[in-house]
């Protein structure tokens, strides 16, 4: 029996592989020609990755425009050239005596509409070249500010020098940049030390399939995990 793969597959991406790696695994393991993903997660990040299959690839733009929710952690007192733990340390400063209330008060200043400058290490293209390729060569170029909106920036826990948070935001928000800017606002610098995407639009990571489980599924079992085109109207607003 020949199976048709048209719809959405929710994957809980582990740390390590790129978003494109996940697409390749699905394409090669199940011989699906049209496979894509909606909203890149950095290799070190985990969580919800929406995979579009077959005819659903036409919905990529709509799905990528949905709001997102993330949980993660920031390490204060240390900045890196990539704004996350994967980069080289650029500066270190003592972390002042801070309470979670003080941190929350500063976090609240980031709520609402704002313009954000994307980091150099990103997939945004300048004259056809991804910024991260220029960054690898040690080059820095001017980046155009992007409009974003933060609905929530909650500091959930703090144990010097690490602050754990939850962010609800519009598409195109770079949480690495937010962590860097937050550190600058505090006065001691900081970088993103962990990130997990939990929600994208109406889709939740709690309903996703792990990569480990994915690699054990038969073609028929995989098909049962796919949200078919006919049902997507209930999820896509």
Q: Looking at the annotation, which residues are catalytic?
A: 42
Dig out the tokens for 44 from the structure: 């070190």
Residues 201, 63 contacting (CB under 8 angstroms): yes
Expressed in percent and rounded to 5, the helix, strand and coil fractions of the chain are: 30, 35, 35
Cα dihedral: 107, 112, 115, 117 (round 10): 40
Dig out the tokens for 60 from the structure: 């990529």
Which residue matches tokens 């900045």? 79
Closest of 197, 192, 199 to residue 121, by C-alpha: 192
What Cα–Cα distance (Å) separates residue 30 from each residue in 2, 97, 167, 169, 220? 12, 53, 35, 34, 10
């Amino acid at each position: 029996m020949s199976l048709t793969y048209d719809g959405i597959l929710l994957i809980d991406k582990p740390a390590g592989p790129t978003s494109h790696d996940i697409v390749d695994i699905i394409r090669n393991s199940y011989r699906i020609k049209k496979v894509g993903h909606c909203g890149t997660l950095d290799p070190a990040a985990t969580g919800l990755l929406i995979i579009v299959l077959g005819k659903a690839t036409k919905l990529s733009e709509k799905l990528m425009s949905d709001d997102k929710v993330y949980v993660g952690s920031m390490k204060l007192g240390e900045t890196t050239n990539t704004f996350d733990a994967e980069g080289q340390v650029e500066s270190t400063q003592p972390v002042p005596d801070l309470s979670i209330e003080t941190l929350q008060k500063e976090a609240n200043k980031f709520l609402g509409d704002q313009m954000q400058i994307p980091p150099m290490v990103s997939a945004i293209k300048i004259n056809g070249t991804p910024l991260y390729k220029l960054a690898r060569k040690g080059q820095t170029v001017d980046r155009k500010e992007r409009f974003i909106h933060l609905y929530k920036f909650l500091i959930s826990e703090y144990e010097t020098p690490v602050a754990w948070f939850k962010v609800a935001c519009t598409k195109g928000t770079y949480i690495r940049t937010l962590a860097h800017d937050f550190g600058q606002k505090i006065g001691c610098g900081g970088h993103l030390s962990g990130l997990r995407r939990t929600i994208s639009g109406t889709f939740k990571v709690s309903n996703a399939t792990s990569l480990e489980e994915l690699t054990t599924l038969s073609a028929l079992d995989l098909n049962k995990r796919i949200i078919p085109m006919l049902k997507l109207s209930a999820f896509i607003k």
